[in-house]
Amino acid sequence: MSIVDKLVSEIRALPDVEKLRLMDAVLNDLDKPEPEIDLIWAEEARKPWAAYKAGRMPTVSYEEVMAKHRQREYRFTQCSEPSGGANAVIRRAGGDLGVEENPGK
């Protein structure tokens, strides 16, 4: 059994909280600063800001954004399944957002 297989086996036996701590440690170890990449991202971030400041980027006001989202109709509906169980379905114009089975239980 390789060292990786042994580690995987031991990790599977850990409680979820310990697995999360381990993942955090591994990800932090892998997340090394890369100055060249950081410079590229900084330059990319400056481009839209410069376009905005120069008036070359269209903007949308807070009021327009909120008005758009207020137009969407959200409603809460109770519906019955053929088996007689009740589901709560959250719908909005354009489709279902999700289904919560047997609400309140």
pTM, whole model, 2 decimals?
A: 0.35
Geometric angle at alpha carbon 92, from 88 and 93, rounded to 5° = 145
Report which of 74, 82, 68 is spatially closest to residue 98, judged by C-alpha positions. Answer: 74
Highest mean pLDDT among 18-27, 59-68, 74-83: 18-27
Asked if the model's pLDDT at residue 27 lies above 50, the reply is: yes
